[in-house]
A and B are shown apart, each in its own frame.
Chain A
Amino acid sequence: MGTSGDHSLSGREGARLALTEALVATGDEDRMAFQRVYRMTSAKLFGICIRICGDAQAAEDVLHEVYLTIWKRAGSFQPGRASPISWLATIARNRAIDWRRANGARATSSLDLADDIPDGSPAADEALIAGEADRRLHLCLDSLEAEQRSAIRTAFFNGVTYRELAEQSAVPLGTMKSWVRRGLARLKRCLDDD
């Protein structure tokens, strides 16, 4: 069901299916499908770019490159293996991090902890990512010490290195590494725990 052009699909599965179909068609160099991919995902990917780059013009340039990459690489997207939005978002996040590393960190004032991003359940209208894995990760994140959780979330959402994390939190680098590593180890135990 759901032709690739059907924007009326609602709900998690429908959105995911429509995006998957558009992305697969993009792999066959279907420009219209690629445009649908763009329209379905550009707000998410621009949100990623602008947060990590911290600069609107840079975020635009990075977003442009991200979609050119998506156009070229869509043929290697494996629908069975990856969620389409995760695949796209990972490209955007990594490209934005690359820009950030190449251009130096942003001004300290914008280096906030990721505490402004709610860590509860996903909003009902954010329907592109499946639910079970989401619940599990959040449960496991919730089981961490506050500073471990905050450091890991900040690393993810701000795209920062250990060094920047340590500076932001005003703790020694070794302390920050220890927090994150122990938090990740605990997260792994929790996620692996069936």
Chain B
Amino acid sequence: MTDPDPDMAAAELALGVLEGEDRADALRRVLADPAFAREVDRWRDHFAVLFDHWPDAAAPPRVERRVMTGIAPDRVAGRFWPAVAITASAMAAVLTGVLILRPSPAMSPPFAAAGSAITLVASLAPTRGGAAIPAIYDAGRQEIQIGAAALAEPGRAEELWIIPADGVPRSLGLLSASSRTTVQLTPAHRALIDAKVKLALSSEPAGGSPTGRPTGAILASGQFIPI
């Protein structure tokens, strides 16, 4: 290890030059270290001024029509689970990647333990707006880690759900209100995890959903994407 190069991982992540394990390492640091996350933010702001120089290109008019017809209708659907009817567009939220993966101040230092292999990340967007909640899937340790959300009203609990392709939510348990939660996955749950699985937090009575399905409001939702 005689790498004399300075540690510029925050800038490298903002610039987008990292891939594979290097990128995963940097994302772990974003989750675990608020100062590092702020540094990534600063770099993104620095680079953002370059957008002014980006050559414009007129988009074909059909894109505007597609976009305008693509919004809204599902917002008023009477289904219980509309907020989780996430299209691939939600992936962009994660993609915004660094933008959104903000550590909660309560997050403890990292988890770069032996056997760790983070393969999926998600960013759960709160239904009512506000900072997104980061989640990672560690295939090596067979667990999901999710940042503290603190979105539920006092006296209510936050329950984490995965929604695989069949659309049926499975509970992964309750979240800690004040710190990162680590969920050790059962083999049955592990078998459901892939790059398309959706995640949601619902508001439930203290102790969790009495029915095994979400009963309260959806507080946040997102989708895993591979890193």
Contact = CB atoms under 8 A, between A and B. Distances in A.
Name the residue in B12, B53, B56, B75 with the highest tally of chain A Cβ atoms < 10 Å from its Cβ. Answer: B53
B50 A153 contact: yes
Contact of A48 (B54, B99, B126): B54
A71 B71 contact: yes
Contact of A63 (B54, B63, B91, B97): B63
Contacts of B52: 122, 126, 128-129, 134
Nearest to A180: B17
B1 to A, nearest CB: 13
Contact of B63 (A60, A86, A184): A60
Interface in B1-24: 5-6, 8, 11-12, 15-19
B118 interface: no
A191 B44 CA distance: 13
- Residues of B contacting A: mostly: helix
A47 interface: yes
Given A64-B63, A76-B131, A43 B58 contact: yes
Interface string B53-77: 1111111101110111011100100
B58 A46 contact: yes
- Residues of A contacting B: mostly: helix
A185 B50 contact: no
A29 B72 contact: yes
B126 to A, nearest CB: 8
B70 A64 contact: yes
Interface in A44-85: 44-48, 50-51, 60, 63-69, 71-73, 75-76, 82-83, 85
B54 A182 contact: no
B48 interface: yes
Name the residue in B5, B66, B225 with the highest tally of chain A Cβ atoms < 10 Å from its Cβ. Answer: B5
A40 to B, nearest CB: 12
Contact of B225 (A98, A128, A137, A156): A98
Contacts of B54: 44, 47-48, 51, 89, 117, 157
Contacts of A50: 57
11 contacts: A34-B68, A45-B59, A51-B54, A60-B59, A60-B60, A65-B88, A86-B48, A90-B96, A97-B95, A134-B49, A182-B6
